[in-house]
Amino acid sequence: MLIRIRPWKEGDEMNLVKYANNKNIARNLRELFPNPYTLSDARTWIAFNKDLLPALNMAIIWENEVIGAVGIVLKEDIHRKNAEIGYWIGEPFWRKGFATKAVKMMIDYTFENYDVTRIFASTFDHNIASQKVLLKSGFKLEARLKKALFKNGRYADEIIMSLLKEDYLT
Ligand SMILES: CC(C)(COP(=O)(O)OP(=O)(O)OC[C@H]1O[C@@H](n2cnc3c(N)ncnc32)[C@H](O)[C@@H]1OP(=O)(O)O)[C@@H](O)C(=O)NCCC(=O)NCCS
């Protein structure tokens, strides 16, 4: 099934709320990701992304509908050759290969548009789905940081995975 990624635009707000307002998504993301996810949160997100060029955050589109999100955070200072990738897919669309496809598209886009040589991701140890997405996209396991994360009243180990540009190119 064909999906594409594109920058966020005004008009995406309702669709964004429809799928982002889900605690099964929020529980695997940082507290920065609101739950409940309101129309006001969606407006703030679209406004924040409007002037970022080239875009850092993309909507994932399937059959002309926003069904998820993928994006990067560019690191600074001595980490400036790094980008951290993050993503979510609306629950009705899980297990269709969409996240893996979107992450691969975002990797291509990142290496083409930004001067970074390492893309990494951080997941909760119990987020097997996300780790599979990363492995299938060429990422390798780098570290397990014991009890580094705390969310919803419990600790979790942090799994760090990365993809180096040199490995991506070969
Ligand atoms: C993680 C997430 C993005 C995966 O999206 P998805 O579109 O279902 O992923 P894919 O269909 O590309 O699946 C990739 C692999 O994970 C597996 N997978 C998907 N959901 C799974 C689950 N709940 N448990 C175990 N494996 C799972 C798939 O079977 C596939 O592996 P396979 O090819 O060996 O069968 C989605 O579950 C999600 O949005 N979760 C909440 C937010 C989140 O965790 N974001 C990542 C933060 S690091």
Q: Which domain holds residue 115?
A: 4-169
Task: Please give the backbone phi and psi of residue 105, each rounded to the nearest 5 degrees, phi first.
Answer: -65, -40
Residue 163 beta carbon below 6 angstroms from any ligand 1 atom: no
Residue 99 beta carbon below 6 angstroms from any ligand 1 atom: yes
Q: What's the CATH number where 165 sits? A: 3.40.630.30
In a mutational test of the pocket of ligand 1, which residue from 1, 5, 30, 89 has the highest number of ligand atoms less than 8 Å from its CB?
Answer: 89
Write the pLDDT tens digit of every residue in 13-37.
Answer: 999 999 999 999 999 999 999 999 9
Q: How many separate domains does the chain show?
A: 1
Tell me if 100 sits within 8 A of 3, measured CB to CB: no
Secondary structure of 58-116 in HEC code, one letter for each residue: EEEEECCEEEEEEEEEECCHHHCCEEEEEEEECHHHCCCCHHHHHHHHHHHHHHHHCCC
Reduce the DSSP state of residue 76 to 3 states and report it.
coil
Write the pLDDT tens digit of every residue in 56-95.
Answer: 999 999 999 999 999 999 999 999 999 999 999 999 999 9
Write the pLDDT tens digit of every residue in 119-150.
Answer: 999 999 999 999 999 999 999 999 999 999 99
Tell me, yes or no, if the pTM score tops 0.75.
yes
